[in-house]
Chains A and B, each alone.
Chain A
Amino acid sequence: MRTRSRIFAAGASLALLTGACASGVGNGDGEPVTLAANPWPGSFANVHVAAQVMESELGIDVDITEIDENAQWSGLDGGELDAVLEVWPSGHGDNIETYIDDLGSVEDLGELGALGQIGWFAPSYVVDENPDMATWEGLEGNEEMFATAETGDSGRFLAADPSFVQFDEVIIENLGLDFEVVQSGSEAAQLTEVEAALDDGEPVLFYFYTPHWLHAKYDLELVELPEYEEGCEEPEEERTCGYPEDVLMKVAAADLDERNEEAYEFLVNFQMENEWQDEITFMIDEEGMEPDEAAAAWIEDNEDAWSAWLP
């Protein structure tokens, strides 16, 4: 039933939308809002918390559409989506330029409140045994430890889901390390492989990020790369520095404030700190709760936090 009401509502919102476009009237009090959920638990956590608070406290109908990160920009621009609550700016430079700066059809709603960090990760048991490996210099000369059948004598560096912008190949080459980058193809494949290695106590080095539920399940260490500084990524082919901290952001369709001012203001106020997100994603991934149940449980315990978002 849930799914059915969703498409009906989607159809209805389209009808309203075209109606609004035709008449040019922008006052749509109580108009439903469609939030994008990207395929990672953190995104689900944000969206379900926001949706439940908006529905119960503001009486706004919220639809959730599960969608790929790249396709979502077109959705915001085309009117099928109203807001995305967790954008990692480091991977979306082009989209931000096109849709926010040039077209102006998407609006920056400000920071989410969580910080993201992309980097190279290794299991703690590897770093504990080889303390040098806390930094990249320690990897030098020990690459073969990470070798697998696929990479032969070189060490294996497990790349991320291809939708993330990655510079590991360049960094590895410029740092003179003997790693072969193995493309994961999808986050699911990468996680499966990493978990297999972790369960077996094998060494593994991979691109990863926080916040992510994997950190709650396993002890992972961020391997230090040359620190990111403004401009160190230019020119790209000479880059040696690691990844900057991502200040996660929220975006919305540019006309959302005209169509549903209440929802717009709520989303501007909406915040999700790393710690909160970790709590929720842990409930989803380790306690087997559905995202909406986990969000409800968190809302129950954290009224102080979300009451501040209400307009």
Chain B
Amino acid sequence: MSSTLTERAEPDGAGTSGASGPRRARSVQVRPLGVVAVVALLAVVVAAVASASGTFPAAWRVPLGDGLDEVQDWVVRNRGSHWFFVGVLTPISTAIRALLMEIDAWLGLLGWPGVMLLIGTIATVVANWRVAIVSVAALVVIGLMGQWDDAMRTLALMSTAVAVALAIGVPLGVLSGRRPAVAAALRPLLDAMQTTPAYIYLLPLVFLFGIGDVPAVIATLIYALPPAVRLTALGIRTVPDDLLEVGRSSGGTSRQLLRTVQLPTALPSIRVGVNQTIMMALAMVVIGALIGGTGLGLGVLRGLQSVDVGRSLEPGVAIVLIAVLLDRITYGAGGRRRRGPAWRRPALVAGAFVAGLGLGALPFAREVPGAGILAFAEPVNQAWGAAESAIRGTTRAFSAVLLSFGLEPLRQGLLLIPWWLLILVVAVVAWRVVGAGVATFTVVAFGTTGALGLWPEAMNTASQLGVAAALAVAIGLPLGVAAGLSDRLDRALRPVLDTLQTMPAFVYLIPVVALFELGRVPGVIATVVYAMPPVVRLASAGIRAVPGSLVEAARSTGATRWQLLRTLQLPVARPQILLGVNQTIMMALASIVIAGLIGAGGLGFETVLGLTRGEVGRGFEAGLVIVLLGILLDRITQALGSDDEATRATVKTA
């Protein structure tokens, strides 16, 4: 009792406003929210009694999308003349195009030897020579696969998007790290940017910025910006108070504090932000190709469109290699202590650049010698053809079982439950687990779903999401725990997980359809493949993080291995594991649209229509429901797990 009080009274350097401030503020806020939640629940019950029906009343349909279609129409008619397009968007688009062409031109001048020298040098300087070797090897493989030109285009697109994302994201992150009001205002926006399926804004981007690499860069930017903002803000926010006090007690101004304390101390976090921004940008490579973006993404898409597994696998592998290369370089950055004069590292890179230009001027620098000797499309296709017919019978039988005992009963069940009862149940769960605010949000989210006329689609998607997440956790959790206990398994799994997370899903769409029959099941399988890595990684990390002293203590009581796991390791690793589950669910949500591309129907399919049939409004409605569902699931599952924001933010993006 008194100990908690004294903790409050002793802010121990907790800034000027004191530690008790925020806590009090929240307890005051909860009351009105609670009232709102009660009113909302009552409204649901009244509505239920009034309508007395199972599915959401059609009369309450709100045609939100129609308004958007009108906006789209207006844009199409006015974009040549209106000041906003001519004066604002066109310059943005011109600037991005200029930057892209600049980077592209330099990559061209460097040629393959120059690029390898430059990237190898950067890797050595910011990470170490081992990373440099891996990077150059990856580039060699890309060259020998015959993907060099496309890879360089992708690199140029990514660099452009990442450069702009950092130029916007880091200052915004600093601002949001220093001013809680800015952070609060940005949070829903960043959430929406990360959960909105890209299919929704692709066509609007085409209307605003035309087709080609520029809108592809902007689409990438939208998706890749949030981690730059979030991790910068996190870094700034988690600068230890005593360091800030050092600055303040030395008489530093706010600007001096930023420059000498906050930014340098936040640098590791910002570096993770850069890493994550790059990874996110890579995830958009194929999506960008849907609106005229070029490079490896287009290659994947071409392979997909001509139903050619091998052809889409080649650029897919190149994307994975680029991801591994950039991940290792940016992850390794800062791991090494700087020695020697400060100018040495930039000088080395500059030197490599100049030397690279020299190499690039050599006659053989244009074409990679032996390009194509590692091309594997043909053998892969032959192997695939044989494997496919051999196992298709088995996989399709599995598919039928999953449908009739999992997906279909769940979907039917969800549709059978009266809509108001479902809202009520979820809202009560949200209330118990998180609080009144999220309970209110639940009612709003479900109400919106119904009002947009997407209730059946949402239930269909929910059933797939449930089955996919359950499968992913059921497979991933034991795997992760096992990897946490065995170094060998952990090491073996790591490259597999890296590949699963960076390989564009478009590459394995054809195989899953062929094996599991077009419909909901291939969507579920693709989702499991895509969404499993976080729970494996975090379960493994969680088990590993259990302090050795605790394990020793448990061992000394004579616990068996199983007892050790059950009574100690799993409970201690619980926050990490739950975080992994949260991440897996969020990833599953992100692949709803992918599932929509292979016959899963539901919200994903509706979203796809937004681009492919030009129905922006309809896509937006479905996308809105996905975003609401995503935020809701995130809040509930996050509340179940760790509430340590620092762990969450780092792992979320890891």
Interface residues of A (CB under 8 A from B): 1-4, 6-8, 10-11, 14, 39-41, 65-72, 74-75, 77-81, 94-95, 98-99, 102-103, 148-150, 152, 158, 161-163, 165, 182-193, 195-196, 199-200, 284-285
Contacts and interface: CB of A to CB of B under 8 A. Distances in A.
Contacts of A40: 305
B19 interface: no
Nearest to A166: B613
Given A80-B212, A196-B514, A67 B307 contact: no
B359 interface: no
B593 to A, nearest CB: 9
A74 B207 contact: yes
Given A70-B611, A150-B520, A75 B292 contact: yes
Interface stretch (B133-141, B296-304, B491-499, B528-536): B296-304
Nearest to B100: A7
A8 B102 CA distance: 10
A193 B301 contact: no
Contact of A95 (B104, B211, B301, B614): B614
21 contacts: A4-B152, A8-B105, A39-B302, A67-B291, A68-B291, A70-B614, A72-B211, A75-B206, A77-B76, A79-B210, A98-B76, A99-B76, A103-B77, A148-B517, A165-B613, A185-B598, A185-B599, A186-B304, A188-B304, A189-B599, A193-B513
A90 to B, nearest CB: 13
Given A77-B76, A150-B519, A4 B210 contact: no
Contact of B612 (A66, A162, A193, A284): A162
Interface string B519-542: 111100000000000000000000
Q: Which 5 A-B pairs have the closest CB atoms?
A: A149-B400, A150-B519, A193-B518, A163-B612, A70-B614
A14 B389 contact: no
Given A1-B366, A14-B97, A162-B612, A149 B517 contact: yes
Interface of B: 73, 76-77, 79, 97, 100-101, 104-105, 108, 149-150, 152-153, 202-203, 206-207, 210-213, 289-292, 294-295, 298, 301-302, 304-307, 366-367, 388-389, 392, 396, 399-400, 403-404, 408, 509-510, 513-514, 517-522, 595-601, 604-605, 608-609, 611-614
Nearest to B401: A149
A96 B152 CA distance: 37
A260 to B, nearest CB: 19
Nearest to B595: A185
Given A67-B211, A71-B292, A150-B403, A7 B104 contact: yes
B513 A75 contact: no
Contact of B292 (A65, A161, A186, A196): A65
A39 B601 contact: no
Contacts of B212: 10, 65, 75, 80
A182 B613 contact: no
Contacts of A7: 100-101, 104, 153, 213, 294
A68 B290 contact: yes
Nearest to A98: B76
Contacts of A10: 212
A81 B211 contact: yes
Contacts of B298: 66
B609 A80 contact: no
A67 B600 CA distance: 24
Contacts of A200: 389, 392
A163 B613 contact: yes
B292 A67 contact: yes
If over half of B's interface residues share one DSSP class (helix, strand or loop), that class is named, otherwise mixed; here it is helix
Contact of A186 (B207, B389, B597): B597
A71 B206 contact: yes
A66 B292 contact: yes
A57 B99 CA distance: 35
Contacts of B304: 186, 188
A191 B152 CA distance: 31
Given A70-B614, A80-B212, A185-B608, A4 B518 contact: no
Given A41-B306, A192-B518, A185 B597 contact: yes
B522 to A, nearest CB: 8
Given A70-B203, A193-B513, A188 B305 contact: yes
Contacts of A193: 513-514, 517-518, 599
Nearest to B101: A11
Contacts of A182: 518-519, 599, 601
Contacts of B289: 66
Contacts of A192: 307, 510, 513-514, 518
A192 to B, nearest CB: 4
Contact of B599 (A11, A165, A184): A184
B153 A74 contact: no
Given A70-B611, A158-B518, A2 B149 contact: yes
Contacts of A162: 605, 608-609, 612-613
A72 B612 CA distance: 11
Contacts of B305: 39-40, 187-188
B399 A183 contact: no
Given A66-B302, A185-B605, A192-B513, 4 more contacts: A152-B408, A185-B604, A188-B509, A189-B522
A184 B519 CA distance: 7
A184 B76 CA distance: 30
A67 B212 CA distance: 8
Nearest to B593: A185
A128 B109 CA distance: 61
A86 to B, nearest CB: 15
A185 B152 CA distance: 31
A271 B302 CA distance: 25
Contacts of B399: 149
Nearest to A10: B212
Contacts of A67: 211, 291-292
Nearest to A148: B517
A2 B608 CA distance: 31
Contacts of A188: 304-305, 307, 509-510
Contacts of B291: 67-68, 71
A202 B202 CA distance: 38
Most A Cβ at <10 Å: residue of B403, B513, B521: B513
Nearest to B518: A193
B598 A186 contact: yes
A189 B613 contact: no
Contacts of B101: 7-8, 11
